[in-house]
A and B are shown apart, each in its own frame.
Chain A
Amino acid sequence: MSTAAVSASRKDAKKPKRRSDAAAGWGFLSPWIIGFLLFSGFPILFSFYLSLTKWNLLGKPQFVGLQNYVDLMSGDSELGKTLLVTFVFTIINVGVSILFSLILAMLLNSKVRFKGLFQFFYYVPTIMPSVVMAGCMTLMFNPQLGIVNYVLKLIGVTNPPNWTGSNSLVWVVVAYASVFTFATGQQMLVFSAALKDVPTELYEAASLDGANGWQKFCHVTIPGIAPMMLFNVVSCTVNSFNGAFTLLYPLTGGGPGDATKVLGLLIYDKAFKSFNMGQASALAVVLFIIVAIIGALQFKLMDRK
C-alpha cells in the first residue's frame, strides 16, 4: 500500500487530476487486498512452509526439510500412484464433459421447435447437486438391484459386474457421472453460443460444393469453434482439479481401495483424517504446481487470440 501511495503522490506533481483516481482505486481494491493476503497469499506461502515440516496439529511444526517429498516418492510411491489416478480421472472427466457438451450444443443448434424445452431437459440434470447425483449413480450401478445390471441381464449378459467394486470398471461409473457435472452444462451453453457465431454462409458454400453433414462438421464447424474449444479444454481441466473432490467423495470415496483416490481426496485424507499436515501440504504444493503449469498454458492460449 505504502509504495502505491508514494508512486501516486509522485505522479500528482505532474498530473494533479490523477490523484483522486489512484486513491479511490486502491480504496475500492482494499477488500480484495485483505482477502488476497489472508485467504490466498498467506495460505500459498504457508503451504510451502508446512510441506517442509512434520506436524500433527499438536505442539509446534518440526522442520524436516524435503523429507515429506522424499517419503512421498520413495517405496510404493504414493505420489506416483495418485498422480496416475488424477491423470486418468482428468482425461475421462474432461473428455466426457467436452464430448457431451459439444453433442448437446450441436443438437440445440439444429432448427427445431421447443428449443427451450430441450435445453431444459439437457441442462437441468447437470445442475443437480453432486451428492444427489452420486446417490442416484450408486443406486443405478448397484450390482444386485441396480437398473444397469438389470438392463445388461435383459440383453443377455449372464454375469453382470460389480461396477463400484472393480478397480477398472469403477471408471465407467465415473465417466457416466461426468456427463451430469456442472462443467458439461456450462460448456454446452458456451459451445451453443459459439456455434451460433459460425457464419451460415460457410455452411451454404459447403452445401453448394456437395459436402455432406459429416464433411461440413469436419471442415466448417470444427475449424469455426477450434480456438474456443482449445481454451475450453484447458479451463475444463483446471476446473476438474477443483471438481474432483466434490464428484468422487460421495460417489466412490476414492475406492475401491485407492483406485480413484485423486490428489484432492488424498490431501483431504492426509490432512483431516490422519492429521499428517506436512505430507498433506507437500501434496498441496504438488497440486499447486501442476495447476500453475496448466494455467500458464492457458495464458499463452489467451495471448495468442
Chain B
Amino acid sequence: MRTNPNNYISINEILADVTVALDDQDYRLLTPGFYRAQVKKALDELGFDTFFYDFVEDKEMPDDLQIPIPEGAFNVKGIYLIYGTPDNIKYQENLYWKRDFYTEGEGKGYTATRHHRNVSDPFMKPVWNNQARYFFNIHNGIIMLSDLCKGYDYVRIKASGIPSKNIDNVKMIPPEAREGITLWVIEKCASYLKIRYKEYRTVQLDAYQQLDPYGLNGAWHKTRMRLKAVDKKQLRDTILYNKAMYY
C-alpha cells in the first residue's frame, strides 16, 4: 500500500491515547519528548519491516565515482544514471549490481568475483558479451560505480527511507499504522515504568498481547500487512500484464 502523506496524523494524536492509557496526562512520569521519541522509534521499526517510506535523491556524478548512501536512506532499491539534469532527463541507464566489486575510483581498476580479464579462473569465467558494464557495489555505506558511468551527469538513488529522518515532524503517522504504533508505544513505555511502579507490568502485558510484535495475531502484524499490501490498481494491472505476458 502506498501511504498518502496528506492523510498522515500528528504524533500528538498518538500521545492523546498513550498518556491516558498510562495515566500520565500531566507528563510527570515521562517527558513529552520521551513519548515522541518512542513514537518515532515505532515508526522506524515499521519502516524497517515494511519499507513503506520511499526515498529518492539525485547526486551529481562524483569525480572518484564513489557516492555515500544518502543520510536517511537504507535498503537501496534502484540506481539510475542520468544524462541531462534531474528535471530534464535526456537519457537514462540502469545500473546493475556486480558481486564483490571493489574499486578505489575511476581509472584505478577493480576486483570482483567475476572479473572481465580473469580468463584463467576455472570457475568464474569472464562474460565477454556482458552488456551490464554500468555496474555498482556498496561497500561500507559507499556506492562504488564502474568507470563507464563517468560519462553521465547524475546518479539517481532510490531507496527505503528511515521515516523519522524524512517525514515532517508535524504529521508523520500513516493512519493505517495508528493502532499498531499506539500499542507499541504503550507497551514500551509501560516496560520502562514498571521498574518503579509495578502496576505497569499489567499494562505492559495487556499491550503486548494486543500488539503481538513477533507473532501473527496482533496489531503489529496487521499494520505490517496493511503497509505491505499492493494497491488495488497495481494488483489489477499486474494480473493483466501476467495474463498478456507483457511486462
Q: Do A and B come from one complex?
A: no
Which residue numbers of A lie inside 8 Å of B, CB to CB?
none
Chain B residues packing against A (C-beta within 8 Å): none
